[in-house]
Amino acid sequence: MARTIDLPRAVLHFCRRSGIAVAAAVLLAALAQAAAAAPAKAERQMVAAANPLAAEAGRDILRAGGSAIDAAIATSLVLNLVEPQSSGIGGGAFLLHYDGKSGDVTAYDGRETAPAAVGPDLFLRPDGEPMGFWEAVVGGRSVGVPGLVRMFERAHKAHGRLPWATLFEPAIRLAEEGFAVSPRLNALIAADTYLKSDPAAAAYFYEPGGAPLAVGTRLRNPAFAETLRRIARDGADAFYSGPVAEAIVAAVQGAANPGSLGLADLAGYEAKQRDPVCAPYRAWRVCGMPPPTSGGVAVLQILGILQGFDLPALTPESAAAWHLIAEASRLAFADRNRFLADADFVPVPVGDLLDPAYLARRGALISPNASLGEAEPGLPAQNGAMPVQHDPPSTTHLAVVDADGNGVSMTASIENAFGARLMAAGFMLNNELTDFSFRPEVDGRPVANRVQAGKRPRSSMSPTLVLDGNGKLALAVGSPGGSRIIGYVVKSVVAVLDWGLDIQAAINLPNVVNRNGATDVEDGASSDALAAGLAALGHEVKRRPLNSGLHGIAVTENGLAGGADPRREGVALGD
Ligand code: GLU
């Protein structure tokens, strides 16, 4: 067994006593960063996830003979409980599965859908102007039909080994016995303005006097245990109809800012199996998630452009390397912002965007000596432009490899931290509909990512699998971070494949992200020289915290190596 983070008791004690939640979380993150120097190692099987209790649950399932999918489901259900701000059955996910026997990669889409009764004006005020972000998020309006449970059902039918109900046992047990509120959960409750506005959330996350639950408080969630028992016993239908569905609808329609999500929307939800998007990257093959996320296409575009440059000859400290990555990224974001949306509703030219000849042409726009500034999309315009996304501190990524060599890379989300700030049947409801463009038209042309009934909002989630030259799994990785996810994932892939870093060192590297504007360089002394070098190449450099949540597993000659992002609370555990 290996743990990447072992929080000293004295520090936890200090945090509890001090009540300075945010400072405590920062201190813990710094300590974790120092601790997370080496990757976790395992011989046969491993789980990397954003919380130790969740990773333990996944590892227990692997020890009981479960498959990678079984472990991913159990891990995710515990994450729902212990990291409720980030993901859960009230939200959605994208999952990539690698079959150790056949080498096949399958993509599962559990993204939320817009209810039948909404249209392009969902986030417009009566005067036709877009709502403010929080005005749209808080309440029932932003809640999409949750997809996680149907997606799990579908993936488990195809790749599960243990009985469905077994996968719910760790989360049910922890929900009944209680778990200790983590520094990160405490800090996010303390920082939240809107969570108290929902009576169920107020009762669950705060002391009776209104103080946020302190670090270490034992938190029980019998309502969630009851919900999980129903789904464990009766299958996914027990989520999409009956008392759980009724509780969701009551919360959405009864909210101060009500939404239209109804029982028929829930009953009609379908998780989709899709073909992954895959492309060669030097000696490897990289696979990502197709639309409705922009993540897979954008990551592959960036890598496809970088393939034309000798990154392996450069180092992770070199401004020249990050300049190339940032420039490739701005080119990819120009296309992403224009073309990517739910391809079941609008035409998305995925093949053209990933065409190697097209990417070579795009790469030819990059100068090694100076930034090209804001990039234009490279294909003829067919849709209007779309607004840039915000950057919520939520969402979660987990990776699993089982003893048969099957792998899972899954990013799950309820969008913003604590989603729509509505709690139903023991879990938080997503605000994923605010990932749609609030403006349905720009310059008289319809926006690809406009709201449409039944449509899935564009995402940036980028669960990624890398295969080696023999088609064997080499790496499973992904991250939260809004549209910066794309940059975080590219960093990890390049660091492992081109620079030969182990997965933990790759995750630890300072984040550098360009979304076709300023180049964000993560705060910290270790990246000062890099920031100066990029500025000298003409980048508008912005220093800021870049709170990735990368979790990954690399399959190496010496077994499995796991990495967990020291910027959050995760671990990699294996045998
Ligand atoms: N809702 C975002 C998306 O689907 C993810 C938010 C986050 O990463 O925190 O892209």
Q: Please tell me the distance from the alpha carbon of residue 532 to that of residue 545, in angstroms, as a whole number.
A: 17
Query: In angstroms, what CA-CA distances link 307 with 50, 276, 416, 467, 502?
Result: 31, 20, 34, 16, 21
pLDDT at 25: 43
**329 φ/ψ sector (left φ>0, alpha ψ -120 to 50, else beta):** alpha
Scan for tokens 């999980």, then name that residue: 228
Q: Which of 46, 176, 147, 154 is nearest to 87 (CA)?
A: 147
For the whole model, what pTM was predicted?
Answer: 0.93
Alpha helices in 243-381 (DSSP H): 243-254, 263-267, 295-306, 319-339, 350-353, 356-363
Check which CATH number belongs to the domain holding 172 and give it: 3.60.20.40
What is the DSSP code string of 22-68? HHHHHHHHHHHHHHTTS-EEESS-EEEESSHHHHHHHHHHHHTT--H
Q: What is the pLDDT of residue 37?
A: 84
pLDDT at 36: 63
Between CA 54 and CA 66 the distance in angstroms is: 15
Give pLDDT, residue 380.
Answer: 78
Distances (CA, A) of 7 to 10, 24, 35, 52, 364: 9, 12, 9, 11, 48
Give the residue whose CA is nearest to atom 6 of ligand 1. Answer: 482
Q: How many whole angstroms separate alpha carbon 313 and alpha carbon 37?
A: 24
How much is the pLDDT for 4?
Answer: 32
Domain for residue 422, yes or no? Answer: yes
Amino acid at 69: I
102: exposed, middle or buried (Cβ count in 10 Å: 0-12, 13-18, 19+) = exposed
Query: Token match 């920062």: residue?
Result: 26
- Report residues whose beta carbon is within 6 angstroms of any ligand 1 atom: 392, 394-395, 413, 415, 432, 435, 459-461, 480-482, 485
Q: Whose CA is nearest to atom 5 of ligand 1?
A: 482
Catalytic residue list contains 395:
yes
Specify the number of domains making up the chain. Answer: 1
3-class DSSP assignment, residue 566: coil
pLDDT at residue 382, rounded to an integer: 61
Q: Is 384 domain-assigned?
A: no
- Contact (Cβ atoms closer than 8 angstroms) between residue 395 and residue 371: no
Cα dihedral 351, 356, 357, 360 in deg (nearest 10)? 130
Residue type, 107: A
Strands 272-274 and 105-110: antiparallel
pLDDT digits (tens, 9 = 90+) for 334-384: 999 989 999 999 999 999 999 999 999 999 999 999 999 999 999 876 655
Asked if residue 262 belongs to a domain, the reply is yes
- Cα R_g (the chain), whole angstroms: 22
Distance 129 CA to ligand 1 centre (A): 24
Give the ligand 1 atom nearest the CA of 461: 10
Closest Cα to atom 4 of ligand 1: 459
Question: Per the domain annotation, does 249 fall within a domain?
Answer: yes
- Ligand 1 atom with minimal separation from the 432 CA: 1
Query: Could you tell me if 567 and 48 are in contact, meaning their C-beta atoms sit under 8 angstroms apart?
Result: no
User: Which amino acid residue places its CA nearest to atom 3 of ligand 1?
Assistant: 459
User: Which of the residues 4, 113, 395, 434 is marked catalytic?
Assistant: 395
* 44 part of a folded domain: yes
Ligand 1 centre to CA of 486 (Å) is 11
pLDDT at position 12 is: 37
* Domain extent for 81: 9-274+394-574
Residue position matching structure tokens 């395992």: 42
Q: Is residue 52 part of a domain?
A: yes
Question: How far, in Å, CA of 284 to CA of 464, rounded?
Answer: 13
Task: State pLDDT tens for residues 91-132.
Answer: 999 999 999 999 999 999 999 999 999 999 999 999 999 999
pLDDT the model gives residue 390: 57
Low-confidence ranges of the chain (pLDDT < 70): 1-36, 381-393
> Can you tell me which atom of ligand 1 is nearest the CA of 294?
10
In a mutational test of the pocket of ligand 1, which residue from 395, 429, 456, 479 has the highest number of ligand atoms less than 8 Å from its CB?
Answer: 395
Question: Per the domain annotation, does 323 fall within a domain?
Answer: no
The secondary structure element, H or E, covering residue 561 is strand 559-564
DSSP state of 335: H
User: Is residue 475 classed as helix, strand or coil in its secondary structure?
Assistant: strand
Q: Alpha-carbon distance 215 to 388, whole Å?
A: 35
How far, in whole angstroms, is CA 540 from its chain's centroid?
27
Nearest residue (CA) to ligand 1, atom 7: 482
In angstroms, what is the span from residue 336 Cα to ligand 1's centroid? 15
**Ligand 1 centroid, distance to 376 Cα (angstroms):** 24
Which residues touch 121 (CB under 8 Å, ≥6 apart)? 440, 451
Residue 224, helix vs strand vs coil: helix
Backbone angles phi, psi at 168, to 5 degrees: -90, -10
Distance CA 327, CA 82 (A): 38
> Among 461, 484, 546, 547, which is best to mutate for testing ligand 1, by the most ligand atoms less than 8 A from CB?
461
Count Cα neighbours of 421 within 13 Å in the Cβ-side half-sphere: 21
- Give 389 Cα–ligand 1 centroid separation in angstroms: 9
Confirm whether 341 is domain-assigned.
Answer: no
Could you give the CA distance from residue 337 to residue 328 in angstroms, rounded to a whole number?
Answer: 14
- Atom of ligand 1 at shortest distance to CA of 479? 8
Q: In 331-436, at which residue ranges do the beta strands (DSSP E only) sit? A: 396-401, 407-413, 423-424, 427-428
Cα 446 to ligand 1 centre (Å): 23
